[in-house]
Structure 1
């Protein structure tokens, strides 16, 4: 270690200190495995006439987290020895595959990962090798996407991210929708990811049918951002479910038509509509906005609220506790914010499956990082302030859920009580 400071000895990469250390450890470990396999140590006279003996070594190069390592793998004369440290056919050891998947989940392309490993570790992996490592999680993604779900979710959130998909010689924008269900304990679960290839009710009918086939028998309230065809698909699958348009998305959509200098004033004029105590009061406030100077100046803003009225008003029938939970899809906005950064780094995807795979890996990666940060603070004395973040979305609790569940049980007793 003194040579690292004095002579500039490299720690990683070809000829570095750590690769040589790992090489020595692995070769000694394989030697110990061979001794255990043969039943006697090197040079032990007791091994004479045992029927098997050492038979030199075989050169083998493997990739590791600290660079490529050239090993001398020991062998026996009967060719019955198989090392568990360096299995036959293995070309990558340690956490190199985990590192590749983590870099991929962070938004790096396969070629970016290839250049990064070569520059930092001196490990040169082909494009095909890295692609196979990332494709190894495809089965996990498929199993996760097809896993059984609970029969009942009181609240279902649905929000979308825009991803760029290569379509032949063109690049098209598609919506990757993420569904988050809240169970009876108020715990959120990511139910699935779907890339929207076609518009309207046909696509959403397929999504709802898939959720139903995976076990979801009933949903009380579905919160979404005014997606075309979704109410019809919901009605066809869960006939009693209520579709609630996200108020925040509705406000944003209506403000697109307002000049920047007038936005604060128009937003203040719209606020009495969505904070009204009842649907009738909200309608009076909408009529008042229509008669105001702002309503006359921005008729497109008024039309946005009028067209979405039937899907905007359901939450007005509930109390304050439940309104806070269902009036917006912001419950998954923090997740979408993190995913958008990764999508931006990634650029475009070769197909829909690649987009779904990256989004799934990103969600798992984010949750794993947060879990590691919480684990570091697990041993701190009681009362010590903790800075580690909680779960981002999957497995996170819903604030104020007990009061909201009490309201739901009063409104939907026949649908909730059988599941309590």
Structure 2
């Protein structure tokens, strides 16, 4: 962070010699980053929001830290203690910028929730893809198996396209149940 000499800089967000930044600050940085602003633009917005200057390296470090944590979470080994998993995919229209023109494309968010032996639900995986297909489901289930989810007794889903075949190939001993509607 840039140092401003000759002024008393007592910030309520980042105190002198502080190395850990408050969650709200990080959430604000990530929120601004999600709008596709540059690090300079984010730094300017943070300056107007909080009343102190922040260098682009601080912005970059905040974003990189969260990306690293997300990658670690997504690649973490799974304990094989989820007798039940619930799988769902939801298609969203996402606005993208291509050649300075806005365009909407479909993206599928895949969510995998495990229910442990104590009955507690845990989010165990999130995936984003351009399509919902048997190939994508196969990749997801193989990834779960490689991360340690070697067996599961029951798989609950709403009969998504290609999922049945993927389950039969990756988890042939599991019982698959297909429900329509919400399964909270």
TM-score normalized with structure 2 length: 0.74
- Tell me the secondary structure at the aligned position of residue 154 of structure 2: strand
The alignment status of 1:143 with 2:72, answered yes or no, reads yes
Structure 1 pair 224/115, CA: closer, same or farther in 2 (3 Å)?
farther
- Tell me the secondary structure at the aligned position of residue 109 of structure 1: helix
Contact persistence 2:154–2:175 (CA under 8 A): yes
Measured in 1, the distance between the counterparts of 2:137 and 2:177 equals 15
Higher strand share: 2
Residue of structure 2 in register with 1:118 after alignment: 47
Q: Deviations over 1:10-37 (max 9, x none)?
A: xxxx9xxxx8484xxxxxxxxxxxxxxx
Residue of structure 1 in register with 2:62 after alignment: 133
Contact persistence 1:155–1:183 (CA under 8 A): yes
The alignment status of 1:109 with 2:15, answered yes or no, reads no
| Match among 196, 203, 216 for residue 149 of structure 2 | 216
| Match among 160, 170, 177 for residue 244 of structure 1 | 177
- Tell me the secondary structure at the aligned position of residue 155 of structure 2: strand
Measured in 2, the distance between the counterparts of 1:168 and 1:129 equals 28
Residue of structure 2 in register with 1:179 after alignment: 112
Where do 5+ consecutive residues of structure 2 fail to align?
none
The alignment status of 1:189 with 2:118, answered yes or no, reads no
Measured in 2, the distance between the counterparts of 1:167 and 1:222 equals 37
* Residue 150 of structure 1, CA deviation: 1.9
| Match among 24, 38, 47 for residue 99 of structure 1 | 24
Superposition pairs for residues 266-345 of structure 1, below 5 Å?
A: 328-329=182-183, 331=184
Residue of structure 2 in register with 1:164 after alignment: 94
Q: Deviations over 1:164-186 (max 9, x none)?
A: 26374444120111211001111
Contact persistence 1:181–1:190 (CA under 8 A): yes
TM-score normalized with structure 1 length: 0.36
Contact persistence 1:174–1:196 (CA under 8 A): yes
Contact persistence 2:137–2:166 (CA under 8 A): yes
Measured in 1, the distance between the counterparts of 2:93 and 2:12 equals 31
Q: Deviations over 1:79-102 (max 9, x none)?
A: xxxxxx63xxxxxx4654643322
Contact persistence 1:148–1:214 (CA under 8 A): yes
- Tell me the secondary structure at the aligned position of residue 152 of structure 2: strand
Measured in 2, the distance between the counterparts of 1:20 and 1:66 equals 15
Structure 1 pair 21/136, CA: closer, same or farther in 2 (3 Å)?
closer
* Residue 195 of structure 1, CA deviation: 0.3
